């Protein structure tokens, strides 16, 4: 199966060399390109790539800013930073933002291919689980596709589509803050991400989710005032 890769790189020549080299490999890649972080976000939202390779220093929006936005709602897609200047400070900052690895410029496509295959192999188990959209939450298994919560003895609870969408974003980023505007943008659309009534609707759905999950004391949807929401799960499944 062809790997769908998003390459975010402002150097047109380097971008062409990497894209051509990867697309010519046996098995091949489908390489999507963007020349800055803002374009990268648009392609990522539309195409849902298997892996992202991002330069750090770019105009309009740099790689760190782009990845920070991606990680607000996507904790799973592997991200490889590519840069000519990698200091310990850059490496630390990149990993804190959610990057999975670094590759130092200059490099050849074969070197990048090796890094990509290693990242995808490590991520395979997690990705398979997420493709099935099944998430362990406390005593439940949450089936996003069917909007069902099933406990360990087989009892089920059905939730609404919007509740399932919100819960998926929180479950995929368990233990991490998901910003309110990121949730609203994903669930209601970009034009509604700062809307007052959308914000109040989110509060209503979160209250309903808390009521649905309240019989499990190990689960908490915590409001981080002025920032966002975090799903806390004391059960390690």
Cβ contact 18:7 at 8 Å: yes
More confident residue, 130 or 21: 21
How far is CA 24 from each of CA 6, 21, 29, 30, 79, rounded to the nearest angstrom? 16, 5, 8, 10, 22
Mean pLDDT of the residues in the chain: 86
In DSSP terms, which residues pair with 33 in a beta bridge?
7
Is 1.10.10.10 the CATH number for 134-233?
yes
Q: What is the CATH number of domain 3-131?
A: 3.40.50.2300
Least-confidence region, from 26-30, 45-49, 129-133, 169-173 = 129-133
> Where does the chain hold its CATH 1.10.10.10 domain(s)?
134-233
Please report, rounded to a whole number, the percentage of residues in the chain having pLDDT higher than 70.
Answer: 91
* Alpha-helix residue ranges (DSSP H) falling in the chain: 12-23, 37-47, 63-70, 88-97, 109-131, 161-172, 180-188, 196-213
Integer Cα distance of 134 and 140 in angstroms: 10
pLDDT value of position 28? 80
User: At residue 68, does pLDDT exceed 60?
Assistant: yes
Per-residue pLDDT tens over the stretch 137-149:
988 889 888 888 9
pLDDT value of position 237? 42
Calculate ∠ Cα 92-178-6, nearest 5°.
60
Integer Cα distance of 140 and 148 in angstroms: 9
Least-confidence region, from 18-22, 36-40, 102-106, 229-233 = 102-106
Quick one: tokens of 71? 């990680």
> Where does the chain hold its CATH 3.40.50.2300 domain(s)?
3-131
């Amino acid at each position: 199966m062809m790997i769908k890769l998003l390459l975010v790189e402002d150097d047109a020549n380097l971008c062409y060399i990497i894209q051509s080299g990867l697309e010519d490999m046996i098995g091949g890649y489908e390489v999507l390109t963007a020349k800055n972080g803002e374009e990268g976000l648009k392609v990522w939202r539309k195409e849902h790539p298997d892996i992202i390779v991002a330069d750090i220093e770019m105009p309009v929006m740099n790689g760190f800013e782009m990845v920070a936005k991606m990680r607000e709602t996507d904790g799973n897609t592997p991200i490889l930073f590519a840069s000519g200047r990698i200091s310990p400070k850059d490496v630390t900052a990149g990993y804190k933002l959610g990057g999975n690895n670094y590759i130092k410029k200059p490099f050849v496509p074969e070197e990048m291919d090796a890094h990509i295959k290693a990242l995808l192999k490590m991520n395979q188990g997690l990705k398979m689980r997420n493709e099935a959209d099944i998430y362990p939450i406390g005593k439940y298994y949450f089936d996003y596709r069917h909007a069902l919560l099933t406990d360990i003895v087989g009892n089920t609870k059905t939730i609404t589509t919007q509740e399932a969408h919100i819960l998926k974003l929180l479950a995929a980023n368990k233990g991490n803050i998901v910003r309110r505007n990121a949730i609203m943008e994903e669930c209601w659309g970009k034009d509604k991400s700062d809307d007052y009534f959308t914000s109040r609707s989110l509060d209503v759905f979160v209250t309903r989710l808390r009521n649905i999950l309240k019989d499990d004391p190990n689960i908490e949807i915590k409001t981080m005032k002025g920032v966002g929401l975090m799903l806390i799960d004391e059960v390690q499944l």
